[in-house]
Structure 1
Amino acid sequence: MFKTLRNAWRVPDLKKKIIFTFWMMAFIRIGAHIPAPGINRAAVESMMNADSNNLLGLMNVITGGAFSSMAIFAFGVGPYITSSIIIQLLTIAIARLEELSKEGEDGRKKINKYTRYLTLFIAIMQGSGTTLMLYNSNVLSEKTPLMFFLTLLSFVAGSMLVMWIGEQITEKGIGNGTSLIIFINIVSSLPNEIIALLSYQNYIKAIILIILFVILIAFTVLMALGERRINVQYAKRMSGRKVYGGQSQHIPIKVNLSGVLPVIFAMSLLQFPEIITNLFVKHPTDGWMTVIENLRWTTPVGAIIYLLLIFGFAFFYSTIAFNPVEIASNMKKSGGFIPGIRPGKPTSDYLSRIATHVTLIGAVFLAFLAMTPLLFTAIFDMQVAFTGTSLLIVVGVALETIKQLESQMLMRQYKGFL
């Protein structure tokens, strides 16, 4: 990885892109410390610290602490990611969007325009709900309509600005703008984690924690790169005097095909009743509060539901991202076949069975990572935020960024890399 970065720094064009990306990420970190107008930061931080092992705590990690202080970048790239996922799902359900996705550059531009509009709508809805929660919790310095509007406007403008910065990093930087923004926000919490670890009194447990953390990083990298390769043989065919085909290729099925999305979706759905209650119900009944407390993932019932949701979303996303019927059809048209498997429906059934087994392994991996904060807290009596979901995001973005740099150097025929 460091060799790739060093080689990329020697290419003048890539060096400019790296410097541009650095300044954009520095601007993101500055915006994460600029508070929105009318926010009582002490009251917000006390509300966040009450329960950090929930969706709000995860959102605070992804935004690099901006959410806990209600800065102008409090929502980060959250609305943009949500809108992108929604558009991706609608592309499968709506024929018009599916046609646009196949029209090349022009279709991609139209889909990006729809994504931006949906991002604005989600930012307004999310900002309105958060501002209303702050208003009802007496967090705003002045409970006036003007202050409500200014706070909401700052949240929405901040979200759109972060989206624009991510697009600029993708176009003028080293790529993966949205992912890099999440990456730098998560990594920014490392100094606080290191300070907390150094202040830990039990040095033996601290050393064991560091060793386990290194093992967890290696395990995460292994699973992020892991894939099941299915051999595909293409039959030879004559076209004029030339012979085509006959080569052997493979279909890669990633172990963690859905990434970190099942964990985020599961946490969002699990915390949805509590968030709605905080927004719109001032005096909930004791029975309803008992239900909400049991739904928290730190309780046995909540943890079981949380794990079941992770498995469910992992298989749901796998069926969307990997279509065995379409792959089998394309293989049959191009004269490809899996050795020992007949073309057509037997091939699609075989691919579906393999994808199910691989997805199960990926779901177990995600469930284990999602529960690591509770395991570390129970074993070491120390709250560690930089585990599980955060680690998976950081590892995935780092590997993808290195691949981007390598591909850009290959395009420039950089001799030192080749």
Structure 2
Amino acid sequence: MANRQLILRLFRSVELKNRLLFLLAALIVFRIGAHIPVPGVDTSALAEIYKGQSSGILGMLNIFSGGSLERFSIFAIGIMPYISASIIVQLASEIIPSLKALKKEGDIGRKQITKYTRFSAVILAIFQGFVAATFVFQQGVIVIPQVEFYFLALICLVTGTMFLMWLGEQITERGIGNGISLIITAGICAGIPSGIVQLWSMTVSGKLLSVLFILFSAIVLIYIVVFFESALRKIPIHYARRQILGGGQGAHLPFKLNMAGVIPPIFASSVILFPVTIVNWLGNSYSELQKFALSFQHGTIGYIVLFASSVIFFCYFYTALMFSPKEMAENLKKGGAFVPGIRPGAQTAFYLESVVTRLTLWGAIYITIVCLIPELFISFFNISFALGGTSLLILVVVTMDFNIQISSYGMVQQYESLMSRTNRLN
């Protein structure tokens, strides 16, 4: 009841309405751009060809870009170059000493790292745009000269990615939630109507049991994602000053079960499927490589085993990069806090690291199962999912984060109103 009243008060806020309207306008712009094709392409012929070649990294990128890759629109490669660049720079900032030093310089260092991320995103966008343009050109659907097509395609695709990057930053600053995540979610949501049509056609053709099974499985997966994403491991901490002054309740450190978020499955899919797709695009001159690539296509045992191993590896790797038990233990010690029964300093760091390691194991298993259940249905039961496990995971997690952002915004508004009343009384 209290949450309902908070939401009603929120939507009376003019600032919140403006932020939501800006978010809606930005997503509309994104969807309009997803339907503007790159010049010189017969889009109808490309759509027919794409229906038989939508597996692998193509299918994943097409879902994340809201169907832009299938239409070869100006947003065909989407925001993925920026995400890949962000991951690469984050990894490099933990390995390269100069970048590691920049992270400790506050706002100035973060701005410099952001510049490196954007520059890397441009390089990756040029490379991915060239690969996408080469694939489209090999399909024989180009109606203009080759040099002109490559020139226009690279300009449109790279500019489209840079525009989406800017649009995501504007949503984060002037809207609600993380702009990049919301753009990806909007692209995934754009594929839901086609999935509903697919389910309806299956129902009409007499596959009602399959449709019910798919719907039931989707509901169960959503429940599992919500349950595990809400799971917290609370480590109690006490403050020495409070004990000296007469006690008081201790605080706690909340650790999420899934600390890596949706990064591991996205990165694992890119690492596994991108080289395989490149081999498939090279043509028949590399038959041995193509046979090897076929063993790692979507739905094969090789893909399932390699994907599961990669997700678990990246869960540990990304969590290790984002979480520093030594730094957290030092901050607790400086603040006069300690974990009951654990000595401050090195022992606290070791304890926190062991807790996070165990949590990461269960989080990695959970992410792997959620992402692989649709793959198992495709492989063993010949049932097609409109949304893959990675897409469903992103959709639910971003929706939960958006809800948290709205609630946090409401708490800030409530606090500011209380402070203004207090100032008036004084």
- Alignment-derived partner of residue 283 in structure 1: 284
Q: What is the rounded CA distance, in whole Å, between the counterparts of 1:3 and 1:187 in structure 2? A: 29
Alignment of 1:220 with 2:225, yes or no, is yes
Matched positions, count = 414
Distance 1:198 1:111, change over 3 A: same
Q: 2:250 aligns with which of 248, 251, 268?
A: 248
Normalising by structure 1, report the TM-score: 0.90
Distance 1:135 1:84, change over 3 A: same
**Residue type of the alignment partner of 2:342:** I
Alignment of 1:229 with 2:234, yes or no, is yes
Contact persistence 1:295–1:302 (CA under 8 A): yes
Residues 224-252 of structure 1: CA deviation (Å, up to 9, x unaligned)? 121212112221279xxx95997522222
Contact persistence 1:90–1:97 (CA under 8 A): yes
User: 1:316, CA displacement in angstroms?
Assistant: 0.9
Distance 1:95 1:378, change over 3 A: closer
Q: 1:289-304, aligned counterparts within 5 Å? A: 289-304=290-305
User: 1:37, CA displacement in angstroms?
Assistant: 1.0
Q: What is the rounded CA distance, in whole Å, between the counterparts of 2:366 and 2:55 in structure 1? A: 19
3-state SS, counterpart of residue 68 of structure 1: helix
**Residue type of the alignment partner of 2:231:** G
Q: What is the rounded CA distance, in whole Å, between the counterparts of 2:296 and 2:212 in structure 1? A: 34
- Alignment-derived partner of residue 125 in structure 1: 127
- Which range moves more in the overlay, 126-135 or 157-166? 126-135
Q: What is the rounded CA distance, in whole Å, between the counterparts of 1:40 and 1:2 in structure 2? A: 51
- Which range moves more in the overlay, 86-95 or 312-321? 86-95
Return the structure number with greater helix share: 2
Residues 117-154 of structure 1: CA deviation (Å, up to 9, x unaligned)? 22222211211222123223333223421121011111
Q: 1:113-152, aligned counterparts within 5 Å? A: 113-152=115-154
Extract structure 1 runs of 4+ deviating beyond 6 A: 1-4, 414-417
- Alignment-derived partner of residue 176 in structure 2: 174
Identity %: 36
Contact persistence 2:229–2:397 (CA under 8 A): yes
Distance 1:285 1:183, change over 3 A: closer
- Alignment-derived partner of residue 362 in structure 1: 363
Structure 2: segments with no counterpart, 5+ residues: 419-426
Q: What is the rounded CA distance, in whole Å, between the counterparts of 1:136 and 1:209 in structure 2? A: 36
Distance 1:338 1:5, change over 3 A: same
Normalising by structure 2, report the TM-score: 0.89
Residues 302-361 of structure 1: CA deviation (Å, up to 9, x unaligned)? 221121111111111111122222222322333322222233333222222221211111
Contact persistence 1:48–1:56 (CA under 8 A): no
Contact persistence 1:229–1:251 (CA under 8 A): yes
Q: What is the rounded CA distance, in whole Å, between the counterparts of 2:36 and 2:226 in structure 1? A: 34
Q: What is the rounded CA distance, in whole Å, between the counterparts of 1:101 and 1:288 in structure 2? A: 41
Contact persistence 1:235–1:246 (CA under 8 A): no
- Alignment-derived partner of residue 111 in structure 2: 109
3-state SS, counterpart of residue 75 of structure 1: coil
Distance 1:79 1:140, change over 3 A: same
Contact persistence 1:101–1:107 (CA under 8 A): yes
Residues 23-61 of structure 1: CA deviation (Å, up to 9, x unaligned)? 110110011111111123244334432243422111111
- Alignment-derived partner of residue 11 in structure 1: 13
